[in-house]
Chains A and B, each alone.
Chain A
Amino acid sequence: MTAEAKAAYKPRNKIRETGVDRAFNAVNYSILAVFLVVILYPLIYVVSASLSDGAAVISGRVVLWPVDFSLVAYQKIFAYERVWTGYGNSLFYAVVGTLVNVTMTLIAAYPLSRRDLPGRNIILGLFLFTLFFSGGLIPTYLLVKDLGLRNTRWALIIPQALSIWNLLIAITFMRTSIPHELLEASQLDGCSDFQYFTRILLPLSTPLIAVLALFYAIGHWNQFFAALLYLTNKDLFPLQIILRDILISSQVDMNMMEDLQSMAAREAMRELLKYALIVVASVPVLIIYPFAQRYFVKGIMLGSVKG
């Protein structure tokens, strides 16, 4: 609250702003406006292109808004099974993975946030060291392989069960946002550490849990590398692998094109499909974005308070 109040408070100039300041403001606003357009334009273009006719897209007639409105690309994508398998798998990884992540983060963060825990600094040090040094890709891959996790869904969940950055956010939250007196009072009342954790700490940590869940869920949804490393079974592929095949390797299934006769029409459809697929893949993130944005900002601030 105090931070927000401070931000809202700007010294009120009773005296008119000087010429330098007015020039500064004009330049400041102009640069930020240009920046806004540069960020926004590609996003609008993708959506417009996906809603246009393929011929209009590849001839450059789409500038800002859809030209010759058409939903044909979306119809084809909705009929394409691989995209749906990928969607389902990604949803599974995001939901189950996030549950595991949040649980692990909370049970690690609570003891480490207690200053009276003997050995706390050593254990925390063990966690922090891994931020700056790792055994590397190959030993990690061999470990996952030896544990028999390759080509199972767990390969995308267990090796990434905990993010140390998120653990730091959780520890900071528990130290700064939950009054220390609560612990002392509950201990006087004979409350055990388990009881304090489940009955007092967790209910007070809902903003933290929201932040963690969002960070982790977006991470899982956008995850590509682990799937590339550990999965060869097509039934387990998350959406990002399928997107890679279509968007980057340009492997478009010919069944999607069989009704199109000319080469030109096929080429136009291929481009159109890519734009529509980018939109379809980003929909889940776009839906939660307005709501998520606030929490992400909060999370970053939590991490920066005493990181």
Chain B
Amino acid sequence: MATASSLTNTRTQTRPKSTYVSRTLARIKKNWQLYVLLALPVAWLLIFAYYPMYGAQIAFRDFLPGKPILQSEWVGLVNFQRFFESPMFARLMKNTIGLSIYSLVVGFPIPIILALMLNQLRTGLFKRSVQMVSYAPYFISTVVMVGLILQFLDLRRGPVNLFLQALGLPAVHFMGSAEMFPSIYVWTNVWQYTGFSTIIYLAALTTVDPALHEAAVVDGANRLQRMWHIDIPGILPVIVTLFILNMGQVLNVGFEKTFLMQNPLNLATAEVISTYVYKIGLAGGVANFSYAAAIGLFNSVIGLILLVSANWASQRLTQKSLF
């Protein structure tokens, strides 16, 4: 009786809150079928995305396969310390960040410029051909792409060197050079992805108000001026959003392409964090899970920090941000 009366008491005292709760409960009950649909995807997410985050604690432990994670000895930051002190640390950071910045500086503006240029064309056969052809390389798999690179740049039989020889120039051992690796990596990416990356900017350009262009034409603005003063400001939000997203990926150099392009001659510049984690943790003779997991976790955390900082900076500078 006492509990019942106190229950009714609290209900009358905090009426707005409890009706809110009961209304929410009613809505949950009404929508139960939606939760049933969500159950499988959420279960998948918890297992395949969140459980590995929990499992990442092996970075702080001395983990041996076959033993439960929680029974492995806690060693704190030893694995991280070992990584920071290893001679590989400086090299990996330099290669990874260098390759990313190079990719960003070259690969980020080119699609924007191309989209602005394409946007100046009248819709017709030429415009459609440029679009159709330039999207095509996007669909080539990384393995085939690297195979293509190796074929074209082969020292003795590749068309590029055959061409150089035909001009009487010495052959260049492209794939055997550590200095040339970053450029080959970045410019072949430009070849493969530029066309496809223009799509999003072209979509954004269609939302620019044509009345602005008309007014500018009346005022005597030429095409270049209109591009600069109307088109670019019009797509700036999209540019900023993509730039922030790209910043979050600075440490995530494409594993597949780098890994497949590696050879003993270019490893000095071609070893990046992700390929090193794979080799230490899974490909080596003695798998060192904890050490590799520590390097991977370091990578993830720095990536998150970069993303959040880029977002914060953009919020300050342009009042535009992702979240």
Q: Footprint of B on A, CB under 8 Å?
A: 3-4, 6-11, 13, 18, 20-21, 24-25, 28-29, 31-32, 35-36, 38-40, 42-43, 45-46, 57-60, 62, 104, 107-108, 110-112, 114, 116-119, 123, 126-127, 130, 132-143, 158-159, 161-162, 192-194, 197, 218, 221-222, 224-225, 229, 240, 243-244, 247-248, 267, 271, 274-275, 277-278, 281-282, 285-286, 289-290, 292-293, 296-297, 300-301, 303-304, 307
- The reply on B182 being an interface residue by CB < 8 A is no
Residue-wise interface mask of B (114-130) relative to A, using a CB-CB cutoff of 8 A (1 in contact, 0 not)? 10011011110010011
- The reply on B1 being an interface residue by CB < 8 A is no
Measured between beta carbons, the chain B residues less than 8 angstroms from A45 are 159
A35 lies within 8 A of B114 (CB)? yes
- The reply on B236 being an interface residue by CB < 8 A is no
* Most chain A CB neighbours (cut-off 10 Å) among B28, B147, B222: B147
Q: Is the interface of B mostly helix, strand, loop or mixed?
A: helix
* Most chain B CB neighbours (cut-off 10 Å) among A40, A114, A229, A248: A248
**What residue in chain A is nearest B53 (Cβ atoms)?**
A135
Measured between beta carbons, the chain A residues less than 8 angstroms from B129 are 36
Using known A-B contacts A25-B120, A126-B45, A221-B141, determine if residue A135 contacts B34 with beta carbons closer than 8 Å.
no
Give 24 A-B contacts (CB < 8 Å), ordered by A residue: A6-B210, A9-B210, A10-B122, A20-B223, A21-B222, A24-B120, A57-B157, A104-B41, A107-B37, A107-B38, A107-B41, A108-B42, A117-B31, A126-B45, A135-B300, A136-B293, A136-B296, A138-B277, A229-B282, A244-B260, A271-B157, A301-B200, A304-B203, A307-B241
Q: Identify which of B10-18, B87-95, B101-109, B132-140 touches chain A.
A: B132-140
* Most chain B CB neighbours (cut-off 10 Å) among A134, A197, A267: A134
- The reply on B35 being an interface residue by CB < 8 A is yes
**What residue in chain A is nearest B299 (Cβ atoms)?**
A136
B256 lies within 8 A of A225 (CB)? yes
**What residue in chain B is nearest A59 (Cβ atoms)?**
B162
Q: Is the interface of A mostly helix, strand, loop or mixed?
A: helix
Q: Closest Cβ of chain B: how far from A51's Cβ, in Å?
A: 15
Measured between beta carbons, the chain B residues less than 8 angstroms from A285 are 139-140
* Most chain A CB neighbours (cut-off 10 Å) among B47, B144, B163, B191: B144
Our pick among B44, B146, B255 for the contact of A248 (Cβ within 8 Å) is B146
Measured between beta carbons, the chain A residues less than 8 angstroms from B147 are 243, 247-248, 274, 277-278
Other 15 A-B pairs with CB < 8 A, given A39-B136, A247-B147, A297-B135 = A3-B207, A9-B210, A29-B126, A32-B117, A36-B133, A112-B38, A116-B27, A138-B293, A139-B55, A139-B58, A158-B48, A221-B141, A224-B256, A281-B144, A296-B196
B148 lies within 8 A of A222 (CB)? no
- A85 to B144: give the CA distance in the assembly, Å: 18
Which B206-251 residues have a C-beta within 8 angstroms of A? 206-207, 210, 213-214, 217, 222-224, 238, 241, 248
- The reply on B150 being an interface residue by CB < 8 A is yes
- A57 to B52: give the CA distance in the assembly, Å: 49
- A281 to B114: give the CA distance in the assembly, Å: 29
**What residue in chain B is nearest A138 (Cβ atoms)?**
B293
**What residue in chain B is nearest A119 (Cβ atoms)?**
B28
A278 lies within 8 A of B277 (CB)? no
Using known A-B contacts A21-B223, A45-B159, A135-B53, determine if residue A6 contacts B300 with beta carbons closer than 8 Å.
no
- The reply on B49 being an interface residue by CB < 8 A is yes
- The reply on B56 being an interface residue by CB < 8 A is yes
- The reply on B51 being an interface residue by CB < 8 A is yes
A301 lies within 8 A of B203 (CB)? yes
Measured between beta carbons, the chain B residues less than 8 angstroms from A303 are 200
Measured between beta carbons, the chain B residues less than 8 angstroms from A135 are 49-56, 297, 300
Using known A-B contacts A104-B40, A137-B296, determine if residue A20 contacts B151 with beta carbons closer than 8 Å.
no
- A179 to B42: give the CA distance in the assembly, Å: 26
- A66 to B62: give the CA distance in the assembly, Å: 59
Measured between beta carbons, the chain B residues less than 8 angstroms from A57 are 157
- The reply on B80 being an interface residue by CB < 8 A is no
